[in-house]
Structure 1
Amino acid sequence: MTDQQTVTYGIDGMTCDHCVMSVDEAFRELPGVTDVRVDLVAGGRSTATVTSTGPLDHDAVDAAIDEAGYTLVAR
């Protein structure tokens, strides 16, 4: 049995629906991610609520969001 976890991450730099798709894809490529909900706040701090089968490695999350072109901020 796995330990489902849901964490909300703050993300800066998102401005449009394309940004939402990029962040969604970046999270879904991480091992264990089962669901992603991205809430866009154009010009502000957007959030991504991520459900996974266990804890996600913070460095892997940070690298994935950075590679997508955005900045992960403290949750």
Structure 2
Amino acid sequence: MQTKTIQVEGMTCAHCEKAVKGALKELNGVESVDVDLETGKVHVTYEDGISESEMNEAIEEQGYDVVS
């Protein structure tokens, strides 16, 4: 298992948190997702084989911006 913290802009409420969590959990191999709305950080625990670009794309498809 690996962990990654992704900085995301645009999340402001519980709906935002649910949308991001749901999008990431749909990716095969994502074990857990924790969203901190105050800091905009998304902590993802996942198996090898998932790329950062896949995770970023899943978040961006929900309408949020991933900060590099």
Q: Output the TM-score relative to the length of structure 1.
A: 0.82
> Which residue identity is paired with 2:24?
F
Residue in 2 aligned with 1:14? 11
> How far 1:55 sits from its partner (Å)?
5.0
The percentage of counterpart residues that share the same residue type is 40
4+ residue runs over 3 A deviation: none
> How far 1:56 sits from its partner (Å)?
2.5
Of 37, 40, 55, the match for 2:37: 40
> How far 1:30 sits from its partner (Å)?
1.1
- 5+ residue gaps, structure 1, are none
The number of aligned residues is 68
| CA–CA distance in structure 2, aligned partners of residues 37 and 62 of structure 1 | 15
Of 56, 59, 66, the match for 2:50: 56
Higher Rg: 1
| CA–CA distance in structure 2, aligned partners of residues 6 and 59 of structure 1 | 15
Q: Output the TM-score relative to the length of structure 2.
A: 0.90
Of 6, 28, 31, the match for 1:31: 28
